[in-house]
Structure 1
Amino acid sequence: MTDIYIFDRKSVNQHHKRAKAQIEKHDFLFREIADRLGDRLMDIARDFPKALDLGSNHHILKETLGSRGGIQDFTTAKFCPEEYPKLSESKSSAKDTESSKAIEIIAEIIPVASRSYDLIISNLCLHWVNDLPGILLQAHQCLKADGLFMASMIGGETLKELRACLMEAEMDIQGGVSPRVSPLIDVKDAGALLQRAGFALPVSDFDRLEVSYANAFDLMKELRGMGETNAIHNRTKAFTRKETLLRAAQLYQEKFSDSEGRINATFDIVYLAGWAPHTSQQKPLRPGSAVERLSDFLNTEETKLT
C-alpha cells in the first residue's frame, strides 16, 4: 500500500468515469497507441494466451488488440478510487477476483497470484499511478517465467505548449502559478525503473505525435473528453478563472499556430517492455571473452592508455 500521493486517485477516477460515456468521440490517441502496441506485439514470434490489461477503464485496448499476440484469455485490471480496501473486499481471494475477468486494483495493490499471466499490457494508464516503481515490481511478480510486460505512457514534453501558455497566463492575470503540471517520465528513467523492478532485456523508447486543433479550447475539450485533466493531489481546488483561460488561449494562438491558424499540440508517448527472467533468454557475455577487437571492426589502430 503506497504512502506516495502525487495524484488524487478519486479525482482521476471521476475524470475517467465522466469521459467514459462519450469516449468514442475522443479516443483517437488511445486507439492509435493501442494499435502501435499491437504492432510491437506482432513483431514477437510467439503467443501470449493469457493476458492482463493493466489500468484501462474502457475496452479500447481489448478491441484494438483482438487476437494479436495469440491472446485467448483477456482480463482487465482497473484502478479504483478507494485508498484502502473494504473489509469484504480484503477477504476475497485472487482466484475469485480473476474468475470475473475484471480485477479491481485498490490502493495500487494488484490482487493477482504470482506467475499468473503470459502478458501484462497497459495503454496510457500508468502516468496516473502514484507508486510507479511498486506497480512495475508487482507486474513483474505477476508474470510467468519468460512472460512479457508492455506499456505505453504519456511522458516527455507532452503538451509543452499548453503548459507554457497556462503558466504565463496565470502569472499575468493572477500573479502566481498553481500546481497543474503532472510529473512526466522520460525514456531514461523508464528504462531504469524496468531494471529496478527486475525485468530482463528492458527496453524503453518514445514516439512524438503532433496534433492540430482549431484553438486551445478545442484542445482542452479533447483532454476533458479523454479524462486527462488535472488531478494533482496538491492542486488548487478552485476553478481556473475565465480571464486566465482566455489569456492562455490568446498566447497559444500567438506562439503555436500554423499557417492556417490552427494550434499544434505535442504528445510524447513513452513505451516500456521487459521480460520475466528465464534461462532461455539472451545474457551478456563475460567481460574479456570477446574473440575480436573493436579496432579491427572499425579498421583503425588501437592505442594503449598510459
Structure 2
Amino acid sequence: MTHAPRIFDRIALLRHRSRARADDLFLQQLAVDEIKDRLSMVNRTFKSIAIVTGFPEIWQHDFPDAKLVSDSDTLELEVGQHDLVIHAMCLHWSNDPVGQIIQCRRALIPDGLFLGVLLGGRTLYELRAALTDAESRVSGGISPRVSPMAEIREVGALLQRAGLNLPVADGHASIAKYRDLAHLMLDLRDMGETNALASRLRRPTPRPVFEMAQTLYRENYATPDGYLSATFEMICLTGWSPDDSQPKPLRPGSAQARLADALMTRETKLPD
C-alpha cells in the first residue's frame, strides 16, 4: 500500500487553526458566500449535506442542518449518504487532495453534487516573491516557507481522477491591502493560514530577511495609496457523482448534421 507524501504537518496546522480569531476569518466567509451563490443556481433542494471544514463554526451558521466533518486524512463520511458534499477551504492543506475528493464522491448518492473551494496558485504571489528574493539576498539560499498551491487546470483534472462527472473548475482573485508586511503576516496568523509545511524551518527567521522582504514588497507591489497589495485566489470545483440520467457525450461520427451548416458557412478541405 502506497501513501501520499507528507507535505504538511497536521499537528502544526491544527495548532494554527486553534489560534485563529473568528473576526478575521474573512476568507472563510468569502468561501461561504461563494458556495451559497453556486447553490442558488442549481435547481435542486439538498436534504442531506456534509461539509468538510477546519472551521465548523463558520459554516454551521449558514448550513445549520449539515453534517460537519474534520478534514483529517480519513473523512468521517458514510458511503452513499449525502446528496451534497462541500469540501470547504482545506484542500490546499491536504497531503492527498485527490484522495479527499474520492472520499467525498463515495459519500454521495447517485447524481449527488460535490462542491470544493480552496486557495489557488496565485494566492499571495506577492508575498512569496518578496520573501524568496529577500532570503536569497540575505541568506544565500531559500528555506521551505511557501505552501504548494495548485493551478485551476491541475485541480480540475483531480475531479476526473476522482470519478466525478461533468467536472468544472473556475476561480477568481480578491485583492486585500495591508499597511505593511507585519500587518499581513499577523492577519494570516489570525486566519490560521500560516506555514505548516512538514519541512519548514524550526528556528526563527532572521530579522534582516523580513526587513529586506518589506522593502522589496513595497518596491514591487505597493498600491497608489501606499498600501501593500495581497492577492487571494479562490478556486471553485464542481462535479457530480455518476448516474445514468446524466448527459453523455455522443459517439464519434454519430452527428446528424454538418457543423458548416449549423454555422452557415462554406466547408473547405485542409491542404495535404
Question: Same-fold call, TM > 0.5?
Answer: yes
The alpha-carbon deviation at position 65 of structure 1 amounts to 4.6
Indicate yes or no: 2:76 matched with 1:76: no
- Distance of 2:102 and 2:171 partners within structure 1: 22
After superposition, the C-alpha distances for 1:163-221 in whole angstroms (9 at most, x for unaligned) are 00001110121111101111111111111110011001111011111111111211111
- Alignment match of 2:102 (pick from 116, 137, 143): 137
Kindly indicate whether the alpha-carbon contact (under 8 Å) linking 2:56 and 2:68 is maintained by their aligned counterparts in 1: no
Gaps of at least 5 residues in structure 1 are 67-72, 80-104
- Distance of 1:277 and 1:140 partners within structure 2: 9
Kindly indicate whether the alpha-carbon contact (under 8 Å) linking 2:121 and 2:150 is maintained by their aligned counterparts in 1: yes
- Alignment match of 1:254 (pick from 214, 219, 228): 219
Kindly indicate whether the alpha-carbon contact (under 8 Å) linking 1:151 and 1:273 is maintained by their aligned counterparts in 2: yes
Indicate yes or no: 2:3 matched with 1:11: no
Q: TM-score, normalised by structure 1?
A: 0.84
Aligned equivalent of 1:33: 31
The alpha-carbon deviation at position 112 of structure 1 amounts to 2.5
- Distance of 2:3 and 2:60 partners within structure 1: 28
Aligned equivalent of 1:23: 22
Kindly indicate whether the alpha-carbon contact (under 8 Å) linking 1:55 and 1:126 is maintained by their aligned counterparts in 2: no
- Distance of 2:207 and 2:133 partners within structure 1: 15
Kindly indicate whether the alpha-carbon contact (under 8 Å) linking 2:77 and 2:104 is maintained by their aligned counterparts in 1: no
Indicate yes or no: 2:121 matched with 1:121: no
- Distance of 1:186 and 1:298 partners within structure 2: 34
- Distance of 1:125 and 1:156 partners within structure 2: 14
Kindly indicate whether the alpha-carbon contact (under 8 Å) linking 1:187 and 1:206 is maintained by their aligned counterparts in 2: yes
Percent identical: 40
Q: In structure 1, give the amino acid aligned to 2:31.
A: I
The alpha-carbon deviation at position 50 of structure 1 amounts to 0.9
- Distance of 1:276 and 1:256 partners within structure 2: 42
Aligned equivalent of 1:290: 255
Kindly indicate whether the alpha-carbon contact (under 8 Å) linking 1:5 and 1:233 is maintained by their aligned counterparts in 2: yes
Kindly indicate whether the alpha-carbon contact (under 8 Å) linking 2:17 and 2:54 is maintained by their aligned counterparts in 1: no
- Name the SS for the 2:66 alignment partner: strand
Q: TM-score, normalised by structure 2?
A: 0.94
After superposition, the C-alpha distances for 1:107-136 in whole angstroms (9 at most, x for unaligned) are x11232210111110221110000111111
Greater Cα shift, 287-296 or 30-39:
287-296
The alpha-carbon deviation at position 298 of structure 1 amounts to 2.8
- Distance of 2:76 and 2:229 partners within structure 1: 41
Aligned equivalent of 2:210: 245
Kindly indicate whether the alpha-carbon contact (under 8 Å) linking 2:69 and 2:77 is maintained by their aligned counterparts in 1: no
- Name the SS for the 1:119 alignment partner: strand
